[in-house]
Amino acid sequence: MKISAFIAGFAAALALAPPAYSQPGGTVPDLPFTATLSNASPLAFGMATDEAARALGTPLAYISGRPGHEIYLAIRTFGGSGFFDRRDRLYLQFRKGRLTGWKGDWGRNWMWQ
């Protein structure tokens, strides 16, 4: 009996409570999900090798592949603490001289082995 009265009172309190909003309405325009990504890279499919190197701000090192169908490596050194640099490897796949894909490889941290 006491439990049912409690549940009824709780339900009535929820029904009378105003709705909760995370942000006031109309202050921030709704952006698409892709516009809010923090890990966006400056690369675009179809870039040439020189355009990709310029966009990343680092030279590309040839890894493998025949002419026009190569894999390059860009080592980006940003972030990290003041004591140790962070060196992220980014592999770029080119087909017919145009960028068709990329993959970040963070590898294993030598410090925690």
pLDDT band for 68, please (50, 70, 90 cuts).
confident
Nearest to 63 by CA among 105, 39, 93, 101: 93
Residues 16 and 5: their CA atoms lie apart, in Å, by 17
DSSP class per residue in 30-51: PPPGGGG-SS--S--TT--HHH
Q: How confident is the model at residue 100 (pLDDT cuts 50, 70, 90)?
A: very high
User: How far apart are the C-alpha atoms of 72 and 56, rounded to whole Å?
Assistant: 13
pLDDT value at position 35? 60
Task: Give per-residue pLDDT as tens, 1-52.
Answer: 677 777 877 777 666 766 665 555 555 556 665 565 555 568 889 999 999 9
Task: Sketch out the chain's domains with CATH numbers.
Answer: 43-105 (3.30.1450)
Res 105: pLDDT: 75
Q: How confident is the model at residue 112 (pLDDT cuts 50, 70, 90)?
A: low
Read off the pTM.
Answer: 0.56
Q: Which residues pair with 66 in a beta bridge?
A: 69
